[in-house]
């Protein structure tokens, strides 16, 4: 971390050190307090929503909290025999969302991995940068523009937009840059001499890839999959324009169009809190994956940016330009 001057007997050094320390601590605690307030600000809406989903039978959408703490509203999501049930819709949408997100995650992981492999092979610099910005375009294009564009394209081709053919494609577009950046970060920290060693020992390209490369980067690929999964699991802006009325709606669409299709009751909050819980669970999976990778790593890392390879942080062409120099 920071280079602290070695403690020597000279009096002036001691004075300087103490001064710096005092100033730093004060700022640190101030900022820490602010950070806690910030987290509160970040999480409070969803926490309030979750609390309201545990109301009793007379529960409503607003405060105060009514009735005993029950799971009644959660039950309406799963049990089709209770009053106010929405179980059928939720099950259909949940399954649709789950399959869609799984497939999107898989495609995102494969495409991002293969794109990052192409970049690893050091293209000529110029096309490198153009290709990089094309991938970043996928990140920068507003969501509903992608939705509108795809809708018009399919209309132009004389086809009806389809959840699996259109919405899936648009969602994968959103996931590709994330997966690509994650994989670039992984490759930045990857020691390719290991591959050379494997080849020197007589392994062919396929064996090297399967037994050396993949085991070392699988956490990145898995992270890409989770990115693709969660982004699709939560997407509204793209999908709303690209679905048709004949297929079961994914969960976000069900939630988003709830006011026009269902009575608004606290089970909407339960549904929102539930889908959020699934997402949060997946992030902790990512956290575990990252921790596993930390353990594999050899040399100690001093800054988080190094750990993320400075590209995963959406800081743009960082890794790329550094390498090109």
Partner 1 sequence: MSSSSTPEPPASDATRVALQEVEEAEAILEQQPPQAERALGEAAARGGGGWVTAVLAAPGFLWIGFYLIAPLVVIILVSFWTRTDTGFSKVWTTANYGDLFHDSTYWHNMLTTFETSLIAVAACLVLGFPVAYFLALKVKSLRMQVALFIIALAPFWTSFLTRALAWTFPLMGTEGALNKSLQQLHVTSGPVSEFSYSLLSVRAAMVQLYILFMITPLFFSLSQVDRAALEAARDLGGNWWRTFREVILPQTMPGIVIGSIFIFVLTMGDYGTVATVGGGNITSVGTLIYSKTTAIEYPQGAASAILLVILLMIGVWVITRFSNLREEL
Query: CA-CA distances (angstroms) from residue 325 to 9, 33, 61?
Result: 45, 41, 57
For residues 163 and 280, what is the distance between their CA atoms, to the nearest angstrom? 25
Asked whether position 15 contacts partner 1 by CB under 8 A, the answer is no
Round the CA-based radius of gyration of the chain to a whole number and report it: 25
Work out whether 276 is an interface residue with partner 1 (CB under 8 A). yes
**Cβ-Cβ contacts under 8 Å for 143 (sequence gap 6 or more):** 174, 235, 237, 238
Cβ pair 180, 115 in contact under 8 A: yes
Q: Does 206 bind partner 1 (CB under 8 A)?
A: no
Q: Which is nearer to partner 1, 47 or 80 (CB)?
A: 47
C-alpha span between 181 and 312 (Å, rounded): 5
162 binds partner 1 (CB under 8 A): no
The alpha carbon of 200 is separated from its chain's Cα centroid by a whole number of angstroms, namely 38
CB of 246 to partner 1, least distance (A): 18
Least separation in angstroms between CB 75 and partner 1 = 20
Contacting partner 1 within 54-83 (CB under 8 A): 61-64
Backbone dihedral angles phi then psi of residue 88, each to the nearest 5 degrees: -65, -50
Site string for partner 1, 222-261 (x = CB under 8 A): --------xx-xx-xx---x----------x--xx-----
Shortest separation between residue 62's beta carbon and partner 1, angstroms: 3
- Rounded to a whole number of angstroms, the minimum distance from the CB of residue 191 to partner 1 is 13
Site for partner 1 in 284-323 (CB under 8 A): 286-287, 290, 294, 301-305, 307-308, 310, 313-318, 321-322
Peptide bond just before 64 cis, omega within 30 deg: yes
Supply the minimum distance, in Å, between the C-beta of residue 81 and partner 1: 26
One of 82, 131, 216, 265 touching partner 1 (CB under 8 A): 131
- Does 265 bind partner 1 (CB under 8 A)? Our answer is no
**Would you say 293 and 222 are in contact if contact means Cβ atoms under 8 Å apart?**
no
Nearest to 190 by CA among 303, 298, 312: 298
Structural contact between residues 114 and 106, judged by C-beta atoms closer than 8 angstroms: no
**138, 216, 265, 289: residue in contact with partner 1 (rule CB under 8 A):** 138
Shortest Cβ 280–partner 1 spacing (Å): 6
Report the residue number, 71 or 145, with the smaller CB distance to partner 1. 145
Q: How far is the CB of 87 from partner 1 (least distance, A)?
A: 19
One residue of 2, 7, 12, 22 binding partner 1 per CB under 8 A: 2
CB 266 within 8 A of CB 73: yes
Q: Is 130 in the site for partner 1 (CB under 8 A)?
A: no
Rule CB under 8 A: is residue 219 a binding residue for partner 1? no
Q: How many other β-carbons are positioned within 10 Å of the β-carbon of residue 104?
A: 27
């Amino acid at each position: 971390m920071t280079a602290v001057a070695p403690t020597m007997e000279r009096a002036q050094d001691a004075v300087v050190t103490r001064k710096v320390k005092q100033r730093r601590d004060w700022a640190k605690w101030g900022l820490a307090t602010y950070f806690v307030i910030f987290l509160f600000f970040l999480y409070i809406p969803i926490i309030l929503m979750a609390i309201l989903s545990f109301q009793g039978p007379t529960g409503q959408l607003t405060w105060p909290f009514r009735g005993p703490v029950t799971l009644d509203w959660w039950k309406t999501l799963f049990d089709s025999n209770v009053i106010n049930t929405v179980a059928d819709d939720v099950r259909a949408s949940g399954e649709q969302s789950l399959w869609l997100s799984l497939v999107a995650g898989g495609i995102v992981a494969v495409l991002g991995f293969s794109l990052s492999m192409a970049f690893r092979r050091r293209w000529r610099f110029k096309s490198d940068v153009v290709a990089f910005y094309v991938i970043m375009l996928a990140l920068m294009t507003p969501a509903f523009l992608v939705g509108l564009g795809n809708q018009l394209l399919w209309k132009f081709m004389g086809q009806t937009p389809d959840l699996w053919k259109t919405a899936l494609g648009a969602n994968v577009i959103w996931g590709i840059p994330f997966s690509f950046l994650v994989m670039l970060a992984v490759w930045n920290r990857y020691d390719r001499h290991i591959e050379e060693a494997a080849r020197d020992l007589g392994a062919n390209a396929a064996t090297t890839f399967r037994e050396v490369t993949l085991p070392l980067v699988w956490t990145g690929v898995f992270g890409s999959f989770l990115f693709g999964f969660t982004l699709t699991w939560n997407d509204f802006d793209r999908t709303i324009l690209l679905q048709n009325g004949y297929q079961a709606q994914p969960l976000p669409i069900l939630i988003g169009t709830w006011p026009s299709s269902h009575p608004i009751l606290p089970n909407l909050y339960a549904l929102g809190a539930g889908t959020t819980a699934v997402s949060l669970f997946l992030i902790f999976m990512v956290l575990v994956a990252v921790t596993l990778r930390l353990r594999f790593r050899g040399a100690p890392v001093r800054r988080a940016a190094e750990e993320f390879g400075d590209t995963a942080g959406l800081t743009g062409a960082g890794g790329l330009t550094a390498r090109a120099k």
